[in-house]
Structure 1
Amino acid sequence: MNQQVVNPINEANTVNLKLRGFNVYQFDATESGAPTYNRRDFYKIVLSTSHMLIHYADQSMEVKGTFLFFSNPHVPYSVELLSPTHTGYSCLFNETFLQVAGRLESIQQSPLFKIGARPVFVLNQGQQAFLESLFEKMLQEQDGDYPFKDELVRNYIQLVVHEALKIQPSDKVIKNKSAASRIAALFLDLLERQFPIEAPQRPLTLRTAQDYANRLSIHVNHLNRAVKTTTGKSTTTHIAERIVGEAKALLQHTNWSIAEIAYGLGFDYPTHFNNYFKRVADQVPNAYRKQ
């Protein structure tokens, strides 16, 4: 069996993930440094032996030994290694992979993947051995040519999930932030999930503080107070800076016209986009592109 060894901090090559909806790999790496939150487009289950800090949404957890970690595309996270090595297995899968077999809803409703959940499970030797066997089976199926191997991998993922549900989650949370901090974290996560804009035909739909308050099912004044108290910036400022940041990326890295960028970012008219961009960036979009 050929096992793929990759760096777990810098995400694995996701070519296979994009082609077939899942990717399983084994890792053995050494890396440290400050955490960086990244946008991810897939669910991830990690079986790891290490000592690290996991920053997940609005909480930070210190874990040492062998543990399971669950993440989903809607919650930002990062890790800081506190030990020289980080070994184990990782399984990545997207929503399409589970939708095929009607498994997506059960995963989304699982407490392991919900926002606000504690996604780390410390393991004993017996649990570690059993879960390692499941990851090894996923590796074998991934490298094999069995025509129904996707269904087998889905079954193994479900077994990992159910095994974790039997285990009490780690309670070594370093800091539980205030309700305002949690609301701000959920807002910032929801804001980031609106990007990147992939086509003018699928425009940005959440553009105001009221839009985000409606989606989070809270009063807009409550949202504004929480975001301002936690970050020092208003909700509107965060939205404007993120929209203009996306606009700059599209101006720099695509050949979309100014009008297409405007429509993609939810503006009805290019002139409205020009004025908005100039107010935030102190120059018009066309000047920024030329520069």
Structure 2
Amino acid sequence: MAKSTESLEEFYKHKFNDLAQNISRHSGQFNVFRIEDRIAANTTSVTYIRRDFFKIMLFSGNNVFHYGDRSIAINGNTLLFFNPKVPYTYETLEPDTKGCFCVFKEEFFQESFRINLTDLPLFSAGSYPVYKLSDTAYSEISTIFEKIIATIEKDYIYKYELIKSHVSELIYTALELHPAEDLFRLNDAGSRITAAFTELLERQFPIESTSQRFELRSPKDIAQKLSIHVNYLNRAVKKTTGRTTTDHIFERLTTEAKALLKYTNWSIAEISHALGFEDQAHFNNFFKKQTNNSPSSIRKV
């Protein structure tokens, strides 16, 4: 006959075994911090580096964030989103800065979202990751962060599932703040082709080692990969974005070149090879045409 009850010892054994398994499954995939604690610990700056983590930051104060090849001045209450494909850093935090941030790997949400995080406007390539907040919106989002912080301290077996719901609330609250006209809508064939083109282009980045090489460097290369005629691709991209396919490729290539020149110790020859140029002279000519600067001058900045 099956036992209808279990001893107290058995109960705690099951409870803590289940807890350990659940925590182990999410170990290293999520964490949350208060900015004030980072300041107190004198960890008020961050190395400019590509990471494996997505990051959502609620920030109150004044600072400058360097995101990709852009520098963005932040004032007051702000919500920021960072994806691991784009390197970032920020200036040393002032003592009166406050807020919270959480970091997580994409695997943390694999069972929660039916789409990739990078398909969301908040994390998509080329998005503007900064949202100014009213006092009301700041209070609302701060409350969500406080729930996350409280939950992560618990020994509740399903605490990470609860945290996922809180982070989802953060994401969808921000999407609600996002102007509707800025959201990319895939409502026709041209938009879908443009989205496929953008995704295929971005999938080649970031360049993370000198052995990696940017291969799909022309509209023809990408059209062949998408199994469509290059003229069809060019028309779709131009109609959807107002810019040529080549413009998009050159802009993305230039952005990556700037990041590699500024934030790696690779030689210019190594960078030119990784970006698919035949030799350094071709890279130098391309970069100067796009930026009016030489690669070496960017490296010295």
**What TM-score does the superposition give when structure 1 sets the normalisation length?**
0.55
Q: How does 1:1-291 map to 2 (within 5 A)?
A: 19-28=27-36, 29-30=38-39, 36-81=47-92, 83-99=94-110, 101-103=111-113, 105-168=115-178, 190-192=206-208, 206-207=212-213, 209-210=214-215, 223=250, 227=254, 237-238=270-271, 240=273
Q: Report Cα offsets for 1:109-143 as digits up to 9, x if no partner.
A: 11000111111111111111111111111111111
Unaligned runs of 5+ in 1: 1-15, 170-185, 196-203, 243-291
- Residue type at the aligned position of 2:59: S
Residues 49 and 86, structure 1, Cα contact 8 Å, conserved in 2:
yes
* Residue 166 (structure 1) shift: 2.2
Secondary structure of 1:144 counterpart: coil
* Residue 32 (structure 1) shift: 10
**d(CA) in 1 for partners of 2:116, 2:204:** 26
From the superposition, tell whether residues 224 and 235 of structure 1 become closer, same or farther in structure 2 (CA, over 3 Å).
Answer: farther
Q: Of Structure 1 and Structure 2, which has the larger fraction of its residues in helix?
A: 2
Secondary structure of 1:128 counterpart: helix
* Residue 33 (structure 1) shift: 9.5
**d(CA) in 2 for partners of 1:187, 1:132:** 33
**What TM-score does the superposition give when structure 2 sets the normalisation length?**
0.54
- Residue type at the aligned position of 2:30: F
Unaligned runs of 5+ in 2: 1-23, 180-201, 226-244, 262-266, 276-301
Secondary structure of 2:34 counterpart: strand
Secondary structure of 1:139 counterpart: helix
From the superposition, tell whether residues 70 and 142 of structure 1 become closer, same or farther in structure 2 (CA, over 3 Å).
Answer: same
From the superposition, tell whether residues 211 and 83 of structure 1 become closer, same or farther in structure 2 (CA, over 3 Å).
Answer: same
From the superposition, tell whether residues 189 and 132 of structure 1 become closer, same or farther in structure 2 (CA, over 3 Å).
Answer: same
Residues 27 and 89, structure 1, Cα contact 8 Å, conserved in 2:
yes
Q: Of Structure 1 and Structure 2, which has the larger fraction of its residues in strand?
A: 1
**d(CA) in 2 for partners of 1:153, 1:235:** 44
- Correspondence for 2:299: none
Which range moves more in the overlay, 79-88 or 210-219? 210-219
Question: Which of the two has higher C-alpha Rg?
Answer: 2
